[in-house]
Amino acid sequence: MNRTLKQIGAVALAVGMTTFAATSADAAVMTDLGWNDNDFWASPHDGNIISTAEIRAETQGNWEFGLWNGDSLGAQGDHTWNGFANFSLSYDADDTKLSLTLGGTAIDSFVDLGSAQTMFLRLRSDEEKNNQPNAQVSVKDLTLSGASLAGGTIESPLPHDPNSYYSNYWMISGFDIAADWTLAGQVKIADAVNQDSHTAMNVKISDVPPVPLPAAAWFMLTALGGLVGSRWLKGRTADQAA
């Protein structure tokens, strides 16, 4: 058994170190957080929000996409929805400039992301007494600086309460948010009417570190547990022999 624990520990340590090395590199990871809340501006999980990029349903003369610096709207633009539209959100670290493009129209806002550590993607559906149970946000072909994050389509949950709205959350981490990057893909907002600005896609940039423990850390803990266990058994066997 002592030998088995050593073997398990050695294998887990090797896998853990390999996985940790891979995830420690500047490679983004997208994690489905499984959160589903009806909070309007921000989930309590988000911590301190430095900046938010918002793409939302048509609002009859008001803006359809914008950049927030904290709680202040820094820039806004108009868009008419007709199926999927290309979007990109990019950061220029030298100029501390955040740029959001939707359907060929671009807006900019200046914000320092030097303290940013985590990015959250929220897709939110809203019924809000507007009798639109099929309002939904869909995102596909999501990439970060050219690397695929979600090759398929991800969507917001369909509203199921006429007095509320619902959100799905993903965390994008494992890359340097303070450096240059571009988040891009295609987005569609369907069946949202009556000035429904609450049906939206939000990219929230936060200063809190990633919450979930990476898989590499679990491998490392398993490895250490195996090695410690083997040492304990060895010591116990020696005591019994004495």
Tens digit of pLDDT for each residue in 20-58?
333 333 588 999 887 665 544 444 455 688 999 999 987
Instruction: Find, among 78, 73, 145, the residue nearest to 111 by Cα.
Output: 73
> Which amino acid, 9?
G
Average pLDDT over residues 175-182: 96
pLDDT score of 136: 83
Read off the pLDDT band of 133 (50, 70, 90): low
Instruction: Tell me the C-alpha distance between 202 and 186, whole Å.
Output: 14
pLDDT score of 8: 40
pLDDT score of 156: 83
Decide if pLDDT at 199 tops 90: no
pLDDT score of 45: 53
Average pLDDT over residues 107-121: 94
From first CA to last CA, the distance across the chain in angstroms is 20
pLDDT score of 205: 93
For the chain, the average pLDDT equals 75
Average pLDDT over residues 194-218: 70
Instruction: Indicate the angle between helix axes 2-24 and 215-241, nearest 10 degrees.
Output: 160
pLDDT score of 161: 63
Q: Cα angle at 171 between 20 and 108, to 5 degrees?
A: 115
Q: Which residues have a Cβ under 8 Å from the Cβ of 203 and sit 6 or more positions away?
A: 52, 53, 54, 89, 119, 120, 121, 122, 183
> Which amino acid, 188?
K
Q: What is the pTM of this model?
A: 0.73
